[in-house]
Amino acid sequence: MGFFNKLFGTQQEEEKTMTTSNIGIILGSTREGRVSPQVGAWVKELADKRGDANYTIIDIAEYKLPLLGEAGGDASGAAAWSEIIAKQDGFVFIVQEYNHSITGALKNALDYLRDEWNNKAAGIVSYGSVGGARATEHLRGILSELSVAHVRVHPALSLFTDFENGTDFKPAAVQVDSVNQMLDQVIPWTTALNTVRN
């Protein structure tokens, strides 16, 4: 009995010390009329139902980051940007395709940091005329350079079938499963990479 108490008691203690991961849902667009807040809110609603992590919307527009290295730019938001990203254990990027790539605002926000991104996991939810596929492939290369482990499953939302008039977000039912399958990969990868960073 003493042996089993030791065995299972240790296991229970380890479970108690495990903390819930923080996952940042990053809105990758800043322009007026953007739909990324609609998509991000939908992803967060689905994610919160899972109860497997703390999910937070992170809107890069709120940080007002000037172009990296721009002379005379007000970089007062850079410290806050660094702080919020450092607090996250993993990410879900809400990505829209502009000219076969990600937005300049998202690229700039990624370039501001390095260590804060390293050894964390990420999923990608994209949208565009072809589901944001080309922007996603570009983002994957950038994330690899930043040592971010991006998962395979990728919800790709079409402007033709998941939006009305290109602005009102009304996702097809199949996209719910796609988001959950993505998170099914992001969460264990996040947990595994926590041990690498710690």
How far apart are the two ends of the chain, measured CA to CA in Å? Answer: 34
Q: Mind listing the pLDDT tens digit of every residue in the chain (198 residues)? A: 455 444 455 444 444 345 899 999 999 999 999 999 999 999 999 999 999 999 999 999 999 999 998 877 777 899 999 999 999 999 999 999 999 999 999 999 999 999 999 999 999 999 999 999 999 999 999 999 999 999 999 999 999 999 998 889 999 999 999 999 999 999 999 999 999 998
Domains of the chain by start residue, with CATH: 21-197 (3.40.50.360)
Residue 30 near residue 40, CB atoms below 8 Å: no
β pairing state of 163-164 and 168-169: antiparallel
How far lies 170's CA from each of 7, 70, 108, 131, in Å? 50, 39, 29, 14
Within 13 Å of residue 65, how many CA atoms lie on the same side as its CB?
Answer: 25
One DSSP character per residue, 148-169 reads: EEE-S---EEETTTSEETTTEE
pTM, rounded to two decimals:
0.89
